[in-house]
Amino acid sequence: DTGVSQNPRHKITKRGQNVTFRCDPISEHNRLYWYRQTLGQGPEFLTYFQNEAQLEKSRLLSDRFSAERPKGSFSTLEIQRTEQGDSAMYLCASSPPTGDYEQYFGPGTRLTVT
Amino acid sequence: AQSVTQPDIHITVSEGASLELRCNYSYGATPYLFWYVQSPGQGLQLLLKYFSGDTLVQGIKGFEAEFKRSQSSFNLRKPSVHWSDAAEYFCAVDNFNKFYFGSGTKLNVKP
């Protein structure tokens, strides 16, 4: 069990560019979550997968954001036409299929849009 | 709507002193409650969780928390703070697999 991993750890991009982040959950965790955290705030829920099905999306997830989990393992979060307001830490978490409601968080990807 | 309030943005305590971090939630049902800690450059680490049963729960690193339904609170405590406890602490409520987090309390520890 190597924990949840996220890549890249840091991304600097210019406004208007597209970016994609990857999350590898703990193996056998069927639930995967994306959160966004801005400075001085707690993480805010973005979206949630159970296996490959995207079950819920927050209203924070505008049309420029899309997340996938094609084989029920890793997930990607893409932001199109980035804006300065997208600058934040993007956190991924996973949780097992039964019993434990705990979410295990990755280290995050820090996005800076210039 | 569900919400989590951490009224203290910053707290400073002396090393060896006791600590209590406050958390209040607004939730219609019996909540699942969590405390996480985040150190700079690190991911969120679970300290403890409450699902049901004994309202005083023990966690890692000597932390404990008490669920008080009448006050809608889940305050985090530690009897003696260590310098390594300096970090940001987040309270969270689980709402059907979505976590709602408070805005966090940043803990500073004086020598």
A48 touches chain B (CB under 8 A): yes
Q: Collapse the DSSP code of A104 into the 3-class scheme (helix H, G, I; strand E, B; otherwise coil) and give the result.
A: strand
Residues of B with Cβ-Cβ distance to A35 under 8 angstroms: 99
Q: What are residue B70's phi and psi, to 5 degrees?
A: -65, -25
pLDDT over threshold 80, residue A2:
no
Question: Mean pLDDT in each 10-residue stretch from start to end of chain B (111 residues)?
Answer: 89 97 86 92 90 92 95 96 96 86 96 91
pLDDT score for A1: 54
Does A31 sit within 8 Å of B104, measured CB to CB? no
pLDDT score for A104: 92
Residues of A with Cβ-Cβ distance to B9 under 8 angstroms: 40
Q: Which helix (H) or strand (E) holds B16?
A: none
Residues of A with Cβ-Cβ distance to B57 under 8 angstroms: none
pLDDT score for A93: 95
Contact map slice: A 66-105 vs B, CB within 8 A: 91, 93, 95, 101-105
User: What pLDDT digit, counting tens, does each position of A24-58 carry?
Assistant: 999 989 999 999 999 889 999 999 999 999 998 98
Amino acid at B72: S
Amino acid at B19: L
pLDDT score for B31: 81
DSSP A55-86: EEE-TTS-TTEEEE-TTSS-EEEEESS--GGG
pLDDT over threshold 80, residue A100:
no
Amino acid at A64: R
| Residue percentage of chain A with pLDDT more than 70 | 98
Average pLDDT over residues A61-78: 93
Amino acid at B83: W
Instruction: Give chain B's radius of gyration (CA, Å).
Output: 13
CB B106 within 8 A of CB B92: no
Does A103 sit within 8 Å of B43, measured CB to CB? no
Does A105 sit within 8 Å of B4, measured CB to CB? no
**Mutate which of A44, A47, A101, A110 to test chain B, going by most B C-beta atoms within 10 A?**
A101
Residues of B with Cβ-Cβ distance to A106 under 8 angstroms: 43
Does B90 sit within 8 Å of A43, measured CB to CB? yes
CB B61 within 8 A of CB B83: no
